[in-house]
Structure 1
Amino acid sequence: MTNVLRSLRVTAIFAVLLGLIYPLVIGLVGNLLFPYQAQGSMEKHNGTIIGSRLIAQSFTSAGYFHARPSAVDYTANGSAGSNLGPTNSALIKEISGNIALVKKQNGAIANASIPADMVETSGSGLDPDISLANARLQIPRVAKATGLSESYLQDLVARETQNRFLGIFGDPHVNVLDLNLVVRNKLDQ
């Protein structure tokens, strides 16, 4: 009986410590030292919150850069990949459909030159970033739809490129929301 009481006390102490005190302290420190990140890295346009830099959104207009396909329809309340294997017929059908959509939206592109992140979902289904190859393939479509020059959009992609973390981790990429905010602001001028 002594061991049962001791384990109940330890459980109660750790429940309070790790379930209440630790999250409150981490939340407080995060909000004091990194308020933008702790509040979800929310981006504004004309004073209105339009999204988070951390969560992909569905941009379907030809005048915007498009994010990766999403396995969860861009709803952040349940992020997940499809978990389908490379030989699964549902995955093959999905990717074939995505390839057809990319070709329809961006003109004739050889399958070999379509970057994987343009037709495959990310592990979370909410990846807010796209590869440079993906962004560059979308430039002609965005230029045609917005009237912005391709050279301006190429410079924009280069300017918004985020390089490898610490110079070695990941690949250079661009945040789709950031690109589209600059495009929107340019069009508003």
Structure 2
Amino acid sequence: MSLLRPAITLTVTLTLLTGLAYPLAITGIAQGALPYQANGSLTVRDGKTIGSELIGQSFSGDRYFHGRPSATTTADLNDASKTVDAPYNAASSSGSNLAPTSKALVDSIRERAAAYGNGPAPADIVTASGSGLDPHISPAAAAAQAERVAKARGLAVERVRALIEQNALGRTFGIIGAQRVNVLALNLALDAARP
């Protein structure tokens, strides 16, 4: 009993400190200092949450810019031992795990690239990211879609390119990463644009 009591006391103490006190303190600090970020950087329009700045989402149709392909999956409802494609599934963040020599990977890249004409397509619109949740594309990937979007919306291509430029984000702290465009923000700006 003399050895058991300190072990139980230590376990309970550490559980309370690391499992309760620390998470509550960090949550409180985050809510006080950065509430928007702490709550998921959610984008709200007309009182309805329409997405997050941090998690990509699927846009289809010619009227919208498309994000980076997503290789996330979810359990098959008919057979729990299998998975099915579920793009931008934040509960299952992952890449495809296909090798560079995989025929399925090469075929999917060729199929995606064909949608952007005969020239080379930017890599980030034909390959999925490691997380499958990337909310950004490169300005080049946005530019590759500008004509399609402009035609579908009846806008001048120059107007669409100007929206891309206005929504382009620079490198973090001026040195980290590359220039990027948040697809949700760009599509919202596009919806607000007048012909």
TM-score (norm 2): 0.86
Give me the whole-angstrom Cα distance separating, in 2, the residues matched to 1:85 and 1:5: 53
Give me the whole-angstrom Cα distance separating, in 1, the residues matched to 2:159 and 2:47: 26
Give me the whole-angstrom Cα distance separating, in 2, the residues matched to 1:24 and 1:147: 51
Aligned to 2:11: 11
Aligned to 2:109: 95
Deviations 1:95-133 (A, max 9, x none): 223223x33xxxx231xx211110111111010000011
Deviations 1:39-79 (A, max 9, x none): 11111223321111111110002111100000111111111
TM-fit CA distance, 1:20: 1.2
Aligned to 2:63: 63
Partner SS for 2:169 = coil
Instruction: Check if 1:86 corresponds to 2:100.
Output: yes
Instruction: Check if 1:159 corresponds to 2:166.
Output: yes
TM-fit CA distance, 1:5: 4.1
Task: Tell which deviates more after alignment, 158-167 or 62-71.
Answer: 158-167
Contact 1:135 1:157 (8 Å CA) reproduced: yes
Partner SS for 1:164 = coil
Structure with greater helix share of residues: 1
Equivalent pairs: percent with the same residue?
44
Aligned to 1:129: 136
Among 57, 76, 96, the alignment partner of 2:90 is 76
- Partner AA of 2:121 in structure 1: I
Aligned CA-pair RMSD? 1.7
Give me the whole-angstrom Cα distance separating, in 1, the residues matched to 2:136 and 2:2: 55
Give me the whole-angstrom Cα distance separating, in 1, the residues matched to 2:181 and 2:54: 12
Give me the whole-angstrom Cα distance separating, in 1, the residues matched to 2:5 and 2:154: 73
Contact 1:45 1:181 (8 Å CA) reproduced: no
Aligned to 1:109: 118
Partner SS for 2:128 = coil
Task: Tell which deviates more after alignment, 41-50 or 133-142.
Answer: 41-50
Contact 1:43 1:53 (8 Å CA) reproduced: yes
Aligned residues: 181
Give me the whole-angstrom Cα distance separating, in 1, the residues matched to 2:177 and 2:166: 18
Deviations 1:146-179 (A, max 9, x none): 1122111111111111111112111100000000
Task: Tell which deviates more after alignment, 19-28 or 134-143.
Answer: 19-28
Task: Tell which deviates more after alignment, 175-184 or 156-165.
Answer: 156-165
Give me the whole-angstrom Cα distance separating, in 2, the residues matched to 1:183 and 1:156: 7
Aligned to 1:172: 179
